[in-house]
Structure 1
C-alpha cells in the first residue's frame, strides 16, 4: 500500500509504503535500486540481509536509514513481514542529514545512531499502535521535528530530477546540461553529492523503473518487444543483461513475481 506524505514533507518524502505479508516458513526476497534512499521501520520480525560479496548475513535493525543502492540485495525473512518504509526523494539523504549522499551508498544505519533519543522515542511510540494512519502520523511528527535541520535542495539537482522523471528516464545528459545551463562536470559533482550517484546512473535506474511498470502491463510478447525498443534496449539480449545486472533475475522471472506497489522488492 502506497500513501502520500503531508504537504510540509513533500520536499523530503516521496511516499510511504506499507508492506504486510503472512508467512510461517522462511522466505526469500530480492531488493534493488529504484533511485530513492529511505527509512525502514520493522513492525514485526526484522529481515536478515545477505552481503552479496562475502555471503555474510546481518540482521537489520528495528529501524534504519539506507542510501542509494548500486547492486541488488538478497533478503531473508523468518516469520511474518510487516514494515513501513519512508521512501525519500532521491536527494533526501543530503536534505535530511546534511551530508554527502554517497557516504551512505549501499549502507544501512540505525535510526537511533542518527537521531538519538528522538528515534528511540519514536520506536517506542510505534509499538503502541497497529493502525496505519496513526503510525504514519507518528513518523510525520518525528520527521517534521527534524525539518529545522534540513538542507535546502540544490535547484539544479531538483530541476534535473524533475526532467528525468518527466522524460521517464529517456533523456541524454547533454539535454540536461543545456536545459539547466550547467556543465556536465558540475552536474556530475552535484549529483554525486546530493543523490549519491552519477546523472547517467540515475537516468538508467529511472528508465529501468518505468520499463518495469510497462513490462507488467504488456499483454503479449509482441507488446513486450515494442516496449523493449521504446525504452532504448537494442534487443532481447541487451534487456536480459540489464535485468541480470539490476535484479539478478530474468524478465520472465520478474514478471511472474511483480508487486505493483513495491516494484523493487519482491519474493523470490
Structure 2
C-alpha cells in the first residue's frame, strides 16, 4: 500500500463543552506528519471525545486545531475525508456476528462505491473483484494480520478473535481508505504486556511509513508524543508535551458516552 503523506496536527486552547461540562479543554500540541501521538488518560477523562474532535467527528466549542492543513472546528467534513477510525466503541465497532471476510468485503464495497471514479465503476466484474482483493490483501499486510493463522481463516467470526487480532482487523479496515490520519481508541485495553507491545509496534510502523497515528491509551509508550487528559479530581496540570486540563466542570462518563453515541449517528 502506497503510504500517504501523513497529516500534521496542532491544537491551541482546544476544547469541547457539553450540557454537563467540559469533555476536554486547554489542549495544545504540535505534531508533524507521520507522528505517533498518544492520548493518555484514565477512562472518562475526555480521551475519546478529543480523538473524535481531531478527526472531524465532533465539533469543538473552544479554540482551534489544524489537521492536515484544515482548520477545526470549521472544516469537519474536509478532515473526515482523509482521516479514518480504527476501533472506537459506539462509533466504529466490529460486528461480532460478522466473519473477518464479511467485514473486509463490506469495506471493499464501500471504498469502491464512494472513492472510485465513474470510469472505475464500469470495469468488468473480474477486474473489480481483483482490485478489491488487492486492496484487502495490502491492508491486511500493513495491519500484520494473517488470516491463515486464524482458527477458520477469513471465515473466523469476530467474536472468536483475540483482542489483538480484532485490533489488527479494525486497523486493516481503516487502512483500506488510505488515510493520512489513523485514529485508534482504547489501544491498550485488555491486552497483555506482550500484546500491548505488539500493538504499539504496529502503530509505530504505520507512523514510520508516513501515516499519522492518533491513539488513545491508559499508558503511552516513551517514544510517542503524549497528550494527557485527566479527570476532574486530577491534581495540577500534568507534565509532558501538552496538557488537557480539567476542572470540577469536567464531563462525566455518561456525558462522554452520550457524545460518542451522537458522533456514531452523524
Interval of TM-score (by shorter of Structure 1 and Structure 2)? under 0.3
Q: What's the TM-score once normalised by structure 2's chain length?
A: 0.24
TM-score for both structures, normalised by structure 1: 0.24
Q: Which has the higher contact order (CA 8 A, sep 6+)?
A: 2
